[in-house]
Structure 1
């Protein structure tokens, strides 16, 4: 008889019990079908010629992909952006107290004021959550993504060079874009966070922001013909642009489009394999990534893993495909997404591994409901993830991080 792996004591704490949701469920289905086995569109690697011979475009192209993933990522209802992180009796454990936020804000400002940024220290501070103080998240994310050098004396020249390069991209690549791509991008951008005035509405500000998102996605598609544009990229782009555009530093806000483009390229370079069909069954493809999530759950909570995948036969692909490809942007309200991305971008193990640990933590947070559910109930729960305390979620993910190290 195989001895059942013991569940760690810290998993049995009542703090991980999911709160009872009293709000009515979304009216629109959040389900996402697993990726099909066949694809009918391939990408070809090519280069784009710029009128400025000094522009090195290859630096901002992702590695060529053999094929893109043409299937649509089904849109899901975005939660009310006004919902904030819930209060908790366990804030001291999850680094969510006001006192700690103020202290961390002071520490981050102190680190960002240095002539040479200690990236290791910045990562450690940011992984605990970046306070919503003006400008801190914008600058920190740019550093974490490698857009800003750690030497502050180089910031001015580097930003000037990259923003000039983006200007050339706009001049060269926005002329006569592929009509099919621009129509799809336009449709998706108009549907980006329809509940947030920053992205949606008839105001000149919202329309200007939509234009910036479209420009970035079109230029990205032109520079990366092997991947082009895949539906859902607009959702990954949105948090970056929002953070940079709302920076109180006027220079940063005015140049948010250019800064966002380069950071978007850096971020997507870690996840582009999820969009490549020919890599599906490789060690870096989406199916392998989902399998790694399954193994991570089995490692930390074998009882829950067995109930989900053996007893109730809930294939993780039915829910984790959307979680992973859209970097959790459809599972939480916008405010919480920003806090989740603080950890996603700062954790030393890298964004891909961190994403899997957060996804595993999401399962652990609702383990009691999952253990009590059958196939239908569990699939519904995971395809419409309940409101939760994000401080707790990130605490669990960090706990998985430390547990995995032993």
Structure 2
């Protein structure tokens, strides 16, 4: 596609051999309904609904590479071959209705063993007596005062975690996922190595910029080796730590320049999460700017996320080439954003609800908000 070609939300996007029917995606959002790491019927229903809603692609929620990598006891995992049929059921359904689905691989590191969010305020760390577990990290720094102590990983343990990412990536392929996203954001394990706020190591995985991004690079290199060459690989980054002394957008651009030739196809641009005392900007769309800056500075494909809830905004981001994909999170959960409505709003063909039905450019009245 030439740079001068006009594109919009519903221009298909091809990454390697994967063709997304449109540029509207659903970011990974944990449902907190897994049982012993396994996805349940609610996952089939929720992610299947996104396919029926005509989202071009879906990122299955943060999925742990080992039980102790979960943020809560209700997180999904993919640490066992026994889980493959449960995921295959979901991917098969999504594919039946024309969407693509990927999965986000993660280890929560020092932010693991948390309580399940509820209507009430989240309690924080779950103790061993309550069913929790000891947590690990790049360094022995606690996430917050109400969290348990963090054990600093040894080099041998780091190498083992790289192997776990690889083993889980193989399972993702067998489960029928179209792409994989490596979670390097939000203060989880990979992000804990990247950020100087959470990494005070003095070995080859700490100190300098190149040392702090070594773990991320090694995970990417090894995962890329075991997944098909035509399978896209995404990385999610916290483009800024939102705290003094942390990662800035300039640092992130440097990171992307280091990893883009390792087989990474798209950067999912998010922010924050590495420390509890971060300062969130007042503009609810502050993360959207990251996608534009990373794309312009590195030439890599980017996904914009954070507060996008209108067809006009989403389409403008694509038309103005500020991002290649828009990820609709909370608005998708609320049903406040719907691809078919968006198509009607911008005056383009509406994706069919079933493969043999098309509403054409002018929709029936009930297709509008």
Looking at both structures, which has the greater relative contact order when contacts are Cα pairs under 8 Å and sequence separation is at least 6? 1
TM range (shorter): under 0.3
Q: Which of the two has greater strand per residue?
A: 2
Q: Which of the two has greater helix per residue?
A: 1
Scaled by the length of structure 2, the TM-score of the pair is 0.26
Scaled by the length of structure 1, the TM-score of the pair is 0.24
